Amino acid sequence: MSTRAEQVTVARPVSKEGIGLHTGEVCRARLLPAEPSAGVAFALGSGCVVPGNVDHVVSSQRATALGSGEERVGNVEHLLAALYGMQVDNVMVEVEGPEIPSCDGSALEWVELLREAGRRAQGTQREAGRLGEAVWVGGGESWAVATPGRSGLALGVVVEFPGTVVGRQTLWTRVSRSRFAREVAPARTFAFIEELEGLRARGLARGGSVENAFGIGPEGYVGALRFPDEVVRHKALDLLGDVALCGVRFTGQVVAVRPSHELNVELARELRRRLVR
Ligand SMILES: [Zn+2]
């Protein structure tokens, strides 16, 4: 068994506190070491533990929420993407508050936190899930396809916002620790300024600010960008976090055109059903 194929957990507990993007409330997530093959799970209030997989998704409107009964946690996707991208398999996430902290709107602070936590190899082989044939979800302008591959995970993402400064952006990346940390993790959440009023009226984006998102207005971007194509990179981050909900490391390629959390979660559901371990 090679060291690289061993499952990994965090070497020591770490935690982060911050504002929730949608509720605006102060939230905290504490990452604790977990047993081999435990996967990622969320410990919510009153002893409720929710596995980090698609069977426990309770909402995919603008962000992905997991829950069980009365207990739920929102905005899990950036943390899940960071755990997948940084190849940390088993973690218990203790959550205080209704959401995972939004940090700076990207996964960069989670990557830094995971580096601070350190890695502990667990001596148990990492499981990979493979597909026998391609899986398609969605249709029309928004669709995704997952295809079998021999090693690792590659993501292709296309976004199109015609008539805006974003236009059409495409990204192709292989998910390795270094490429994830460099190319995908730093890309922040964005919001169309004209949509913000509507989102707030629906009780969303209450914690959104220039601290954790960048804006797209009729005149162009509001605030400085980290990448000229930060929009498509953030969509790749969301896609990875949602695909991680299939519950194992997927070996293959995913191409998503105009993805949304709803589409990503549908894909994760199909992958969970069809992946062969
Ligand atoms: Zn996001």
* Interval between CA 88 and ligand 1 midpoint (Å): 20
Q: With 0-12 CB in 10 A as exposed, 13-18 as middle and 19+ as buried, what is 41?
A: buried
For the structural domain made of 128-274, what CATH number should be given? 3.30.1700.10
> For the chain, which ranges sit under pLDDT 70?
1-4
Phi, psi of 267, deg, nearest 5? -65, -45
Instruction: Name the pTM for this structure.
Output: 0.95
pLDDT of residue 4: 56
pLDDT of residue 101: 96
Listed residue (177, 13, 152) closest to 83, CA to CA: 177
pLDDT given at position 1: 36
How far, in Å, CA of 184 to CA of 230, rounded?
Answer: 9
Tell me how far apart the alpha carbons of residues 167 and 148 are, in angstroms, rounded to a whole number.
Answer: 30
Q: Note if 261 is an active site residue.
A: yes
122 Cα to the center of ligand 1, angstroms: 30
Q: In this structure, which amino acid lies at residue 237?
A: L
The domain ranges of the chain are: 3-125, 128-274
Q: Which pLDDT does position 211 carry in this prediction?
A: 83
How much distance in Å is there from the Cα of 276 to the middle of ligand 1?
Answer: 28
Q: Quote the CATH superfamily of domain 3-125.
A: lpxc deacetylase, domain 1 (3.30.230.20)
Q: Could you tell me the distance, in angstroms and rounded to a whole number, from the CA of residue 243 to the centre of ligand 1? A: 13
DSSP per-residue letters across 228-266: TTHHHHHHHHHHHHHHGGGSSEEEEEEEEES--HHHHHH
